[in-house]
A = this chain, B = another copy of it.
Amino acid sequence: MVPPDLLETLAAILGASNLHVAADALLAYGTDALKRGHPAEAVALPADTSQVARVVAACAAHRVPFVPRGAGTGYTGGAVPLHGGVVISLERMNRILEIDEANLLAVVEPHVVTGDLQAAVEKVGLFYPPDPASLHMSVIGGNVAECAGGPRAFKYGTTKRYVLGLEAVLPTGEVIETGGKVVKNVVGYDLTHLLVGSEGTLAIITKIILRLVPKPPVQATLRASFTSVEAAVEAVSEIIRRRVVPAALELIDGESLEAVAQNLQVRSLAPEGTAAILLLEVDGSAAAVAEDALRVEEACTAAGTTEILRARDDAERMELWRVRREISLSLKMITPLKFNHDVVVPKGRIPELFALVGRIRDAYRLRIPCFGHAGDGNIHVNIMVMPDDADEIERAHEAEKVLFEGVVALEGSISGEHGIGFSKAPFLPIELSPDEIALMRRVKQAFDPLELLNPGKIFPP
């Protein structure tokens, strides 16, 4: 319960118009892309770091929990105020503070939309590679909290690789800075990368220093079709064997492809008999791109591709990418509910992952279209269910557990991108040992001794 005098204090800190207590706001700020929300008791909209710190200190003094919130596009409930309390939305802290061309870095507030930052730095010939599917909605602060990935991670790495420094408010109210504007820093513990991916459970990030790289001048996009997932994965291996590092290496299975074809109302998106396609992008200098594209084509041919297309211009490039961009929406059109899991295995074991999914599909009678980042071994496994079919939902939940156990047995991980939030928290012990979980709990305690920041997340209930 948020006591009235805390509300008064918050209003005094923020101004009354920046504190929401109306029921519709409490609901809206209580849910995220997981669609399993819990209403907030108050929503604070701080304007700057000092206001964040004061809001946190006030909540802590009242022993009221608080939950930081970015754009609410997360898939595992990370921004949901599961135990009520105050949602601290960073939406007013949305400025790009600095694009420093000489030092190849940007300084941003947390609520800068990722795609907007990319556009801004590309204007001066620089590049911020992480490209989660949500990039036109999600914000850098959320990307950092979740360590967002995306297709380009195979070549460029995930968000983690680009975070040089942070300013953050501890759950006890102190403002700390970690890392900084230098690309190397070994002074004390690397709290920067501990905070990246900590899902808003250790501190509230209020400023981010990001490393940038030169924008690759040329891209080439290719699409290769295969009659089996195994052949597509063999092409990935052939590409790696040829020591090419594509900027993107996306795999889409036949079931996902069929969903997109239905949704776009085209008869087919690839030659008849296609069970998997690879979408490939290489980037760099013109000479390097020409060379790499050729080797990618050779690799796909060696693996028995039935058709390979190379985009001749930007319009064709966008057309090839379209099928990838339409998947999520298309799947939703077929079945309103999906349990989408972002499991990851060593890439050489992707065929075993698909074999596992095949067994689960049969055993639990479920539709499970798969697609994702083949270069990283990070495959989105979508268990599709009808919301009114209780039996199917139960089968889906059983299937989830079998999937996670199977992935860990393949030396993989139950999440490569979306994090744990509260939706995957019960499954944490499948991947981590009791000693490892106990250690993480002690780390959490080191940051949040009162357990007020984003409670109910990551750790099994």
Contacts and interface: CB of A to CB of B under 8 A. Distances in A.
Contacts of A104: 240
A190 B146 CA distance: 11
A28 interface: no
Interface stretch (A19-27, A222-230, A381-389, A439-447): A439-447
Contacts of A445: 442, 446
The residue among A105, A178, A348, A439 with the most chain B CB atoms within 10 A of its own CB is A439
A189 B185 contact: no
Contacts of A178: 436
A219 interface: no
Contacts of A177: 433, 436
B243 A428 contact: no
A344 B179 CA distance: 12
Contacts of A191: 194, 436, 439-440, 443
A416 interface: yes
Contact of A431 (B103, B183, B187, B433): B187
Given A413-B182, A416-B184, A442 B446 contact: yes
Contacts of A269: none
Contacts of A157: 161, 183
Interface in A53-112: 100-105
A420 B188 contact: yes
Given A180-B411, A285-B291, A348-B102, A190 B196 contact: yes
A184 B378 contact: yes
Residue of A154, A177, A186 with most partner-chain B CB within 10 A: A186
Contact of A413 (B100, B185, B440): B185
A202 B190 CA distance: 12
Contacts of A418: 186
Contact of A174 (B146, B158, B160, B435): B435
Given A180-B411, A182-B411, A191-B443, 4 more contacts: A158-B184, A186-B420, A189-B444, A288-B288
By Cβ-Cβ distance, the 8 closest A-B pairs, closest first, are: A287-B287, A214-B243, A184-B416, A102-B348, A442-B446, A193-B193, A174-B435, A185-B413
30 contacts: A102-B346, A103-B377, A153-B184, A154-B183, A157-B183, A161-B161, A176-B436, A177-B436, A180-B413, A182-B412, A182-B413, A183-B377, A184-B376, A184-B417, A186-B417, A186-B418, A186-B419, A186-B420, A187-B431, A188-B440, A189-B194, A189-B440, A190-B197, A194-B194, A213-B245, A214-B243, A287-B288, A439-B446, A445-B446, A446-B446
